[in-house]
Structure 1
């Protein structure tokens, strides 16, 4: 199955949809936005039509609809995590990436398990509870994939007086079904992989060496993961390699395929734009740069197209762009990130051995203070994963709105735990006031649960959830 062409990515249908919907009338746009407001998702033609919006008035309606859908489903809540780069070893030749095998401008390093533990301790002491473990697409020869399994075990093993990491997601090279089963047994949360580009000709041009040249092996990766029992998967493209409209519709085709075959689509979608990388002219000069307004538009369209799927915004973007997209659909953000192995133990902002340059260098506490000042609840909650509310079970709660009875109280209690154990005095003051205001505005079971959980944290209990 996985050696055949990934024909569910149908380029002809994508171009046809874009051509047929390139000049929509305002009435057509309003009709699609009304459909989107029902929070049942959109089809390929709907998405194609929304990409053609250029009129400022229609753009405002798109953004307002996305904001309404986002807040109806997620409320004022943003999940925070940190990437943990354990290795920049790689056998691939990807022209846009600093980790490519032929790049002599970076220092190669695979962290030892002891070094990984030190990085994890730093993240724990900052207040993080979720990490995304990232590795270049090669491992120390003596270890192979076992290196990743050992790293996951190491992350979970680190505990100190400040707590522990409660969820480890991974972003590593495509695996076999058997390797995915091993990753699941290692207790991972989400398996994340980016196609980079779904456009076959572009894919071939930018991947000039290594196993990553195999378009189909990569595109089928999430099928293998879900076949192995991993029901939380994350997808994304690297914006700037090809026309973002094509990539958006191809992403939708991938989502529809997973929903058809496994009954549930991806848990998250990431929207990384290309950023400068050491010795990569392509990274500094993207072939298809995505403007700020098109970037915002894409985030809003994704929120309407797949309303119950998390949208991740990384620290590639500036603090301002990250703020702007919170209201358009973003539900998860990284914070205080480093993208080179051992980066959390260093003091410099950008290391030449990083995978790419960052747009937001602020430490975790400053990001949290900013988020809370905007009225959003920074959440470190990991309850759904630990309670088995993943995959289809999560969607069964999310679509009727029942998941908010868990997410809102759990987000508040995890935020209170951060404020009580890690926050600066200024952040604590802003955060405590936000928690009071938020609970005062709640009602029913959600309010009862929130008050109960927050009071438990106040009394000295950590890691409380429902």
Structure 2
């Protein structure tokens, strides 16, 4: 194997490493909530006026004002501003992707997840041949070129060697490959980029350090710093696109997304060659039976989406099939830039093992072509790939 070259020293990540975990202590959780609680309508007008001038990017603290209760009367104005910035940067396009779950085996004991290690269900991990069968089945659903490979966090079963085999089987069928798996070392991320990896998605779930321990009591995921610094390791390895997200429903959703905005700005300054995306998944029913601590309603989720687009004009904002069809059809014109379709959240769900344990229930079960037609009905164009194979 050729010598690995990094923009940063990968030896730093041998245990937990330096990264945003060393910076997050500068931001107090309760003080972050107070920024939201103390915001006034005058503050909202000031931030929106700055956004319209479009001279300087908003700060995370200004983003906090836009998701505060004080901003609720400005929803329509925020929607139009979000639409303007989205059209200016992305045009009338929606990028299409589909997830492929390759394993539901997991060593973690996340209290809210259907893949929880203690759930008494038979686990499935696809063989390379089964992975290829899934690829063939997906291609029959629609002309997808953006594939998200998802697995539970079980390094001995689904480590870098296994993922290399998966990527090699998927590459002939898809031009853009992204993974959502356990956080890895920078050297492992780099190794996978050499095997065709384009992007990595990782959900921090919550930025509240103490609460994080409660939701993740056992397994490698219980190590808050290791997971949080994973984004630095992706940047060090030169991952082309880094996806971020928090699980809306665990803790105060406003504080969590403000922390994510701070994290994004940190990453953009240090790993400016990478692109970034965000996702706002609301908790869905799973086999764990866990009920959300906090509910974010449709109006609040819309305002969060608009606020994040106003905060960052270039970021890819993705909505998955967790959300209902009518909601996705309306939000796509106001800030969203990518959507999944036809999703199965169990390994082998497209061809091999459709009865396997799923991670969560989907709300939008329309076929990919039906979703594409809804996009066209809204005056937008579904885009099935980001670039041609000739550029790889």
Query: TM exceeds 0.5?
Result: yes
Going by fraction, where is helix more abundant, 1 or 2?
Answer: 1
Q: For residues 237 and 200 of structure 1, what CA distance do their matches in structure 2 show? A: 13
2:133 equivalent to 1:118? yes
Q: Which residues in structure 2 correspond to 1:12-51 (within 5 Å)?
A: 12-37=27-52, 38=54, 40-51=56-67
Whether 1:173 aligns to 2:206 is no
Partner of 2:122, secondary structure, is coil
Q: Residues 307-322 of structure 1 correspond to what in structure 2 (within 5 A)?
A: 307-322=313-328
Choose which of 49, 59, 77 in structure 1 pairs with 2:75.
59
Structure 1 residue 264, shift from structure 2 partner = 5.4
Give the 3 Å change call, closer, same or farther, for CA 249–264 of structure 1 in structure 2.
farther
Task: Flag the 1:150–1:204 CA change in 2: closer, same or farther, 3 A.
Answer: same
Structure 1 residues without counterparts, runs of 5 or longer:
158-163, 389-466
User: Would you say the 8 A contact 1:256–1:265 is kept in 2?
Assistant: no
Instruction: Please name the residue that 2:231 is paired with.
Output: 222
Are residues 1:339 and 2:345 paired? yes
Contact 2:213 2:222 in 1 (8 A): yes
Q: How does 1:368-379 map to 2 (within 5 A)?
A: 368-379=372-383
Could you tell me which residue of structure 2 aligns to residue 153 of structure 1?
Answer: 168
**1:235 is the counterpart of 2:241:** no
Could you say which residue in structure 2 is the equivalent of 1:201?
210
How far apart in 2 are the matches of 1:352 and 1:342? 7
Q: Say yes or no: does 1:291 pair with 2:297.
A: yes
Quote the Cα distance in structure 2 between the aligned partners of 1:243 and 1:385: 42
Q: Is residue 267 of structure 1 aligned with residue 283 of structure 2?
A: no
Match of 1:362 in 2: 366
Higher alpha-carbon deviation: 38-47 or 86-95 = 38-47
Structure with greater Cα Rg: 1
Q: Could you say if the C-alpha distance between residues 39 and 361 of structure 1 is closer, same or farther in structure 2, counting changes exceeding 3 Å? A: farther
Q: Which consecutive residues of structure 2, in runs of 5 or more, have no partner in the other structure?
A: 1-11
Q: How far did residue 376 of structure 1 move?
A: 1.0
1:128 CA displacement? 1.3
8 A Cα contact 2:32 2:255, kept in partner: no
Query: CA contact under 8 A between 1:18 and 1:49: conserved in structure 2?
Result: no
SS at match of 1:78: strand
TM-aligned CA deviation for residue 177 of structure 1: 1.5
Residues 45 and 78 of structure 1, relative CA distance in 2, 3 Å threshold: same
Question: Which residue of 1 is the match for residue 7 of structure 2?
Answer: none
From 114, 118, 135, the equivalent of 1:102 is 118
Q: 1:133 to 1:27 in 2, by over 3 A?
A: same
Contact 2:128 / 2:166 at 8 angstroms: preserved in 1?
yes
**In 2, Cα distance between equivalents of 1:93 and 1:156:** 32
Higher RCO, 1 or 2 (CA under 8 Å, sep at least 6)?
2
For 1:443, the equivalent position in structure 2 comes to none
TM-score (norm 1): 0.76
Partner of residue 91, structure 1: 107
Which secondary structure does the structure 2 equivalent of 1:381 belong to?
coil
Which aligned pairs between 1:360-439 and structure 2 lie closer than 5 A?
Answer: 360-383=364-387, 387=391
User: CA-to-partner distance for each residue in 1:103-144, whole Å, 9 max, x for gaps?
Assistant: 01x331001111111110011122211100111101564x74
SS in structure 2 of the partner of residue 93 of structure 1: coil
Deviations along 1:235-270, whole A, 9 cap, x unmatched? 111111111111111101111221232235652111
Q: Is the 8 A contact 2:99 2:340 kept in 1?
A: yes
Taking a change above 3 Å as real, the CA distance of residues 346 and 86 of structure 1, as seen in their structure-2 partners, is closer
Structure 1 residue 370 displacement after superposition = 0.9
**Cα pair distance change 1:384/1:310, threshold 3 Å:** farther
Where does residue 281 of structure 1 map in the other structure? 289
- Measured in 2, the distance between the counterparts of 1:70 and 1:194 equals 24
Q: TM-score, normalised by structure 2?
A: 0.90
Whole-angstrom distance in 2 between the partners of 1:63 and 1:298: 10
Tell me how far apart the structure 2 counterparts of residues 20 and 361 of structure 1 sit (CA, whole Å): 39
- CA-CA distance at 1:26 after TM superposition: 3.1
Cα deviation digits, residues 45-79 of structure 1 (max 9, x gap): 20111121456541221222111111221111100
Residue of structure 2 aligned with 1:80, choices 84, 88, 96: 96
What's the counterpart of residue 253 of structure 2? 244
Counting matched residue pairs gives 375
Change (3 A) 1:109 1:21: closer
